[in-house]
Amino acid sequence: MFLASDESDFMNTSNTTSKIGAVFYTIWACLHFVAAYSVYVLGRSLHSSVAQGRIFQDAWNLLIFSIIAISVALTLNWRNSVWGYWLNFVTVGIADTGFIFFVLVPGYAPVWPGILGPVFWVLATIFSTIALLTRTKGATTELPGHDTAVIAHHLRSFEEMQP
């Protein structure tokens, strides 16, 4: 339910920037779905070996990073959640810093289009950070469905039951 107040304005700046950040994380994830498939195809071209297994593991990791990033982006980042911010910041950061240090910097992949993933990660991080820093005082800080008043009430009830 949307209230007609400044704190719950559907199109406030924080809400808009969080959605832009979520879109950039979604683009990042889509790029990495394609990368995961490409790495898988590369692995299939190798003979059965430890190297092939490691390539398949890399494809799997890219797939999982992508699933996490797009899931968090479309649920938590879209709502400007602190949890979503940190989940995608860390998850995508781990994926992309490894790629930057071990693939792009040594020159094993061309800078273009290799830089696209890191660019979308940086853009997503910038917009998500702006969204968190500019959100209104009444903005949600909990996971969707969690009401701190209800949780506090249950905790007090639990404490009353203790001997």
Tokens at 33, concatenated:
């779905």
Chain centre to alpha carbon of residue 12: 22
| CA–CA distance, 122 with 103 (Å, rounded to integer) | 18
Contact 144, 81 (CB under 8 A): yes
Contact 64, 93 (CB under 8 A): no
| CA–CA distance, 82 with 141 (Å, rounded to integer) | 6
Tokens at 17, concatenated:
């920037």
Whole-model pTM: value is 0.73
pLDDT interval class at 90 (50, 70, 90): very high
Chain centre to alpha carbon of residue 150: 28
Tell me the per-residue pLDDT of 29-76, one tens digit each, with 9 for 90 and over.
999 999 999 999 999 999 999 999 999 999 999 999 999 999 999 999
